[in-house]
């Protein structure tokens, strides 16, 4: 399977088949899946904890690290797809809607590069908090 030819539906079906073959459906309550997503995301973070920021190209060329990171990303994806299956969430539709709302929240003309940090602070676009005053910037 490759990203450019494999649909979300195919991945969702693969995960559902894997779970059904093992009769694990009873273990997949949304609470437990959310916890599992968080645990796996923490495992992903461990690969970068206490490490100096390396150039992305250096990370890409570290075969062992890329394999380990890929495994963690796939574990996260497994739980995301499982939760989408359990809750019958249309991920593609949800993603399109979320991207539309993000585009409204962060207009490209004011959200590019370093300009974005200042705009975000002045407009309070940080987790719904009030805008920072000039003294706080």
Number of structural domains in the chain: 1
CATH number at residue 58: 1.10.287.1080
Distances (CA, A) of 89 to 85, 86, 134: 7, 8, 42
Q: What is the DSSP letter of 133?
A: P
Examine residue 30 and state whether it is found in any structural domain, yes or no.
yes
Examine residue 124 and state whether it is found in any structural domain, yes or no.
no
Q: Which domain holds residue 40?
A: 8-90
Q: What is the pLDDT of residue 120?
A: 66
Contact 116, 106 (CB under 8 A): yes
**Global pTM?**
0.80
Examine residue 49 and state whether it is found in any structural domain, yes or no.
yes
Q: What is the pLDDT of residue 110?
A: 77
Examine residue 104 and state whether it is found in any structural domain, yes or no.
no
Task: Provide the token pair at 60.
Answer: 């890409």
Q: What is the pLDDT of residue 113?
A: 75
**Closest Cα to residue 85, out of 1, 20, 13?**
13
Sequence length of the chain is 137
Contact 128, 105 (CB under 8 A): no
Q: Exposure string (b/e) for 27-39, b if CB count within 10 Å is 16 or more? A: ebeeeebeebbee
| Per-10-residue mean pLDDT, the chain, length 137 | 95 98 96 98 94 90 96 98 98 97 86 70 58 47
Q: What is the pLDDT of residue 137?
A: 43
Distances (CA, A) of 127 to 51, 105, 130, 134: 27, 11, 9, 19
């Amino acid at each position: 399977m490759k990203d450019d030819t494999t649909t979300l539906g195919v991945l969702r079906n693969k995960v559902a088949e894997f779970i059904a073959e093992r009769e694990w459906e009873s273990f997949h309550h949304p609470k437990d899946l959310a916890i599992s997503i968080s645990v796996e995301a923490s495992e992903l973070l461990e690969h970068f904890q206490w490490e100096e920021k390396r150039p992305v190209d250096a990370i890409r060329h570290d075969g062992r690290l890329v394999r380990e990171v890929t495994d963690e990303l796939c574990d996260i994806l497994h739980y995301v797809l499982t939760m989408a299956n359990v809750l019958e969430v249309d991920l593609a539709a949800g993603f399109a809607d979320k991207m539309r709302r993000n585009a409204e929240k962060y207009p490209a003309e004011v959200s590019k590069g370093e300009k974005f940090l200042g705009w975000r602070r002045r407009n309070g676009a940080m987790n719904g908090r009030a805008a920072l005053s000039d003294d706080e910037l």
